[in-house]
Amino acid sequence: MALKSVITGGAGFIGSNLTDHLVRIGHKVIVLDNFVSGKKSNLSHHKKKDVKIIKDDISNSKNLEKYFKGADYIFHLAALAEVIPSIKNPKKYFKNNVIGTLKVVEAAKKVNIKKLIYAASSSCYGNPKKFPTSEKDKIDLNNPYAATKFIGEEIIMKYADMFKMPNISFRFFNVYGPRLNISGQYSAVIGNFLSQKKNNIPLTIVGNGKQTRDFIHVDDLVSAFIKVIKSRYVNKIYNIGSGKRTSINTIASIFNGKKKFIPIRPGEPKDSLANISKLKKDINWKPKISIESGIKKLLSN
């Protein structure tokens, strides 16, 4: 019988890429999404027999257990995921991301799953002092988004401890790839550059552009998901990035557009670089897509 996966937030950028891959390897997928930022069009190429879409809100739903019944895997990706709106509306973020996660894990506990994967965030390291930053390094929660994602992770890991649940948390660094959000006011740098390039306007570079980020292509992220669900590992936290840092100026050069420098924004880290040795060692995974080829592929679409 086909394996069954539920993806909360499956209509979003990462969730829809994960859906594509799971369908390709023969899973039946249930997408659970309230479409606050996710889009129907991200999934419109799928057949109903492969992907069932349920419109519901994880923080309010009374039916999570029903949706999860019979699932082999749950990928919990649903979240409000922007920093500045979280500062303006922390309560909304808390309810959505923390209460939502609590409800997901509580319902998952009642059904018999093989693994639950949680989408945590490298924002838990704040403005790190140690590079590459490992899972053991200091947690520094400097905005409500980071706090909600980290509390979500703590809940997921406590449930793994207390109830022997097969939970895994991935701390994503900067993910990019097809269907990256390019329309939002607060979208991440590659999304911004894509939309600016498309509209033929200068690429806006924050500060002097020498700040660095660890960018990981969504296909590399998905390949780690697939390896981890097949592995024997449970109750683990893993960084997931490329293990390489790239400056914003370098990204702008790959885009090859005119540049415009804009003032720095408070609360953003100067540099970010993941130590990914734990994940590499445990599941024998490594990222394959270089930032140059990943961006060139995006630009050619």
The site for ligand NAD (CB under 6 A) is made up of 8-9, 11-15, 33-38, 57-59, 77-81, 96, 100, 119, 121, 149, 172, 174-175, 181
Smallest gap from Cβ 138 to ligand NAD, in A, equals: 18
- In the bound state with ligand NAD, the residue whose beta carbon lies nearer, of 1 and 23, is 23
Cβ closer to ligand NAD: 9 or 287? 9
Helix (H) or strand (E) holding 289: none
Q: Which of 89, 125, 152, 153 is nearest to 270 (CA)?
A: 125
H/E segment holding residue 160? helix 144-163
CB nearer to ligand NAD: give 6 or 283: 6
Q: Which is nearer to ligand NAD, 145 or 284 (CB)?
A: 145
Min dist CB 25 to ligand NAD, Å, is 20
Nearby residues of 282 by Cβ (< 8 Å), 6 or more positions away: 231, 233, 236, 238
**β-pairing, 174-176 with 203-206?**
unpaired
What are the tokens at 173?
A: 């660094």
Query: How many Å separate Cα 121 from the centre of its chain?
Result: 7
> Which residue lies nearer to ligand NAD by CB, 122 or 196?
122
Q: Which is nearer to ligand NAD, 7 or 205 (CB)?
A: 7
Minimum separation from the CB atom of position 34 to ligand NAD (A)? 4
Tokens standing for residue 256:
């090859």
Closest to ligand NAD by CB, 170 vs 285, is 170
How far apart are CB 182 and ligand NAD at their closest, in Å? 11
CB of 258 to ligand NAD, least distance (A): 26
Whether the CB-CB separation of 7 and 29 falls below 8 Å is answered with: yes
Q: Min. distance of Cβ 23 from ligand NAD in angstroms?
A: 17
Q: What minimum distance in Å lies between the beta carbon of 97 and ligand NAD?
A: 7
Q: Give the span between the Cα atoms of 165 and 269, in whole angstroms.
A: 33
Residue 184's φ and ψ, nearest 5 degrees, are -70, 155
Backbone angles phi and psi of 171, in degrees to 5: -90, 100
Q: Map tokens 């703590």 to a residue.
A: 154
